[in-house]
Structure 1
Amino acid sequence: MAEFTPGTDDAESDELFEHYSFTAGAGQVPLRVDKFLMNLIRNATRNKIQQAAKAGNIRANDVKVKQNYKVKPGDRIRVLFEYPPFEDLLTPEDIPLDIIYEDDSLLVVNKAAGMVVHPGHGNYSGTLVNALAHHLGEMPLNSSNRPGLVHRIDKDTSGLLVIAKTDQAMAHLAQQFFDKTTRREYLALVWGNVADDAGRVEGHIGRNPKNRLQMQVFPEGDQGKEAVTHYKVVERLGYVTLISCRLETGRTHQIRVHMKYLGHTLFNDARYGGDRILKGTTFTKYKQFVENAFSLLPRQALHARTLGFEHPVSGKAMDFEAPLPEDMSACIAKWRGYARHLSDE
């Protein structure tokens, strides 16, 4: 029996590979590694495994091995499969889109929580790009060969995205994001009573070396990429705080990581531990209250509320706002009621 450690299945990841890791059990009989992997990985063909071996992407105990390596008890087997070409994943799908604005150059959509932005491992369909391919047909490619995309937000984050419809719009909008001239504000519900009414978080963000599904702050700037977030308290709600965040940079999981670094993990952010009761009392009624709040908002409490940029053709300032989705509004209302109860005590 092999113990399985999954690799990244986050379609918002910058990774170019599917990653799998297995530890062969004590009763493992000697078996070629290609057959070993075919038995354990769904849809892993012999050719796919052979290509991985040829590229040096199969390792036994951190040593590169060929496809005929015999797996022994206790061996730790890791394999990286390259993603298929993006165009192979791009199937137009008739998925409803909440389009806030559209003209000949671009469109702005209000993405629902739960929708992945672009296809990738584990999410080959049902993504925003699949929906856009149906709505628009041809789209310009960005530097990562992803149609129309100028920026992105996490699967379980709701809110605004701008999509380029022409090469000119793609280049112009991409330059604005690079130059940090776009205007982006997020609303987040975080654990704890944030001490300062406003503040600035500056800390390089990079992949967590111990958990590749997470990002982390490297405060000395020795690793990762520069990341700056400005936050402001909107409402104090007892054991949680509603804040707004303005981004200077756009790193993967930036707000989620920066707020955790400050000790204020996003409410119900399972990847970073926010799905546990991090603040409050030990009373059973309080625990039940928080569980009910988790049920109302079964994702991290993060919404991309505003987006502003210069129109790539007219040069006009464009600013958009998306109201809080129902799940986040309901959760905040519940905490608002609890905060009133605390103040009455």
Structure 2
Amino acid sequence: MNIPIIYEDNHLLVVEKVPNLPVQEDASGDQDMLTILKADLKERYNKPGNVYLGLVHRLDRPVGGAMVFAKTSKAASRLSDTLRKRDMERTYIAVVHGRVKQQKGTLEHYLWKDRQKNEVYAVDSKKKDAKKAILHYEVIGREEGYTMVRVKLETGRSHQIRVQFQTIGHPLHGDQKYGGLRVKKGEQIALWSSSLSFPHPTTKEIVTFEAPLPKGMPWNLFD
């Protein structure tokens, strides 16, 4: 499978995740990003034995876009620290149903994950294991019953963007899990990891990587 490489050096591998491909091996037994990329590194650099590639952050299976992996354990440790300190800026573009009225806003909810169902819910803050979720959004455009938003995560909770927008009445186009009756079977979720920005693990210089938006519906409404 061809996974586009956005940037690579001795420490980082930044790629464009293919939608509907799991990040790592799961119960489905389907091909996964980590295994494919390790095999590619092994072949390209003719490496003997096991190839190291550190998983730094995740994207939901149906979501595509920019994603960074660490090529050394030191880089993985430093990038994990960067994430923990919230020094990695992750920007997403989403197309949601309906007209989001406020041009800019912040969403704060407490989210709880049902691990058996792999579903996340907005709950009361007092619920056991509920975690605070914060995101900031800005409206980019409004077309034909849809709103395109740029989203910056302050926290990185499971299914966060999808659940928070669904909770305020604006589910994501094509979200088969949380979109409800507005979503048609077979539609692709309109959520894309558009850019990553963080201090390079060795040079400390701020580096930024972008993945161009997909073509087709509903993205083309906003061309």
> Does the alignment reach a TM-score above 0.5?
yes
Aligned equivalent of 1:286? none
- Mapped to 2, the partners of 1:114 and 1:259 lie a distance apart of 21
From 300, 314, 317, the equivalent of 2:206 is 317
Deviation, structure 1 residue 148: 1.3
- Residue by residue, what CA displacement relative to the aligned partner does 1:79-126 show, whole Å, maximum 9, x if unpaired? xxxxxxxxxxxxxxxx3221100000111001111111100101x241
SS at match of 1:185: strand
Return the structure number with greater relative CO, CA threshold 8 A, min gap 6: 2
Taking structure 1 as the reference length, the TM-score comes to: 0.59
Q: Is the counterpart of residue 133 in structure 1 residue 22 in structure 2?
A: no
Structure with greater proportional strand content: 2
Contact 2:138 2:150 in 1 (8 A): yes
- Mapped to 1, the partners of 2:213 and 2:98 lie a distance apart of 21
Deviation, structure 1 residue 331: 2.0
How many residues were matched structurally?
215
Deviation, structure 1 residue 332: 2.9
Change (3 A) 1:267 1:313: same
Q: Is the counterpart of residue 262 in structure 1 residue 163 in structure 2?
A: no
Structure 1, unmatched stretches of 5+, are: 1-94, 141-146, 279-290, 338-345
Instruction: State how 1:17-166 maps to structure 2 within 5 Å.
Output: 95-122=1-28, 124-137=29-42, 138-140=50-52, 147-166=53-72
- Partner letter of residue 67 of structure 2? L
Aligned equivalent of 1:231? 137
Aligned equivalent of 1:301? 190
Structure with greater proportional helix content: 1
Percent identity over the alignment is 33
- Residue by residue, what CA displacement relative to the aligned partner does 1:41-81 show, whole Å, maximum 9, x if unpaired? xxxxxxxxxxxxxxxxxxxxxxxxxxxxxxxxxxxxxxxxx
- Mapped to 1, the partners of 2:126 and 2:13 lie a distance apart of 36
Deviation, structure 1 residue 139: 4.6
- Mapped to 2, the partners of 1:332 and 1:221 lie a distance apart of 38
Q: Is the counterpart of residue 331 in structure 1 residue 218 in structure 2?
A: yes
Contact 1:305 1:322 in 2 (8 A): yes
From 196, 199, 202, the equivalent of 2:105 is 199
Aligned equivalent of 1:44? none
- Residue by residue, what CA displacement relative to the aligned partner does 1:136-174 show, whole Å, maximum 9, x if unpaired? 34454xxxxxx5100010111110111001111000000
- Mapped to 2, the partners of 1:201 and 1:221 lie a distance apart of 18
- Mapped to 1, the partners of 2:215 and 2:222 lie a distance apart of 15
- Residue by residue, what CA displacement relative to the aligned partner does 1:5-62 show, whole Å, maximum 9, x if unpaired? xxxxxxxxxxxxxxxxxxxxxxxxxxxxxxxxxxxxxxxxxxxxxxxxxxxxxxxxxx
Change (3 A) 1:326 1:238: closer
Deviation, structure 1 residue 195: 1.5
Instruction: State how 1:157-306 maps to structure 2 within 5 Å.
Output: 157-208=63-114, 212-223=117-128, 224-274=130-180, 276-277=181-182, 298-306=187-195
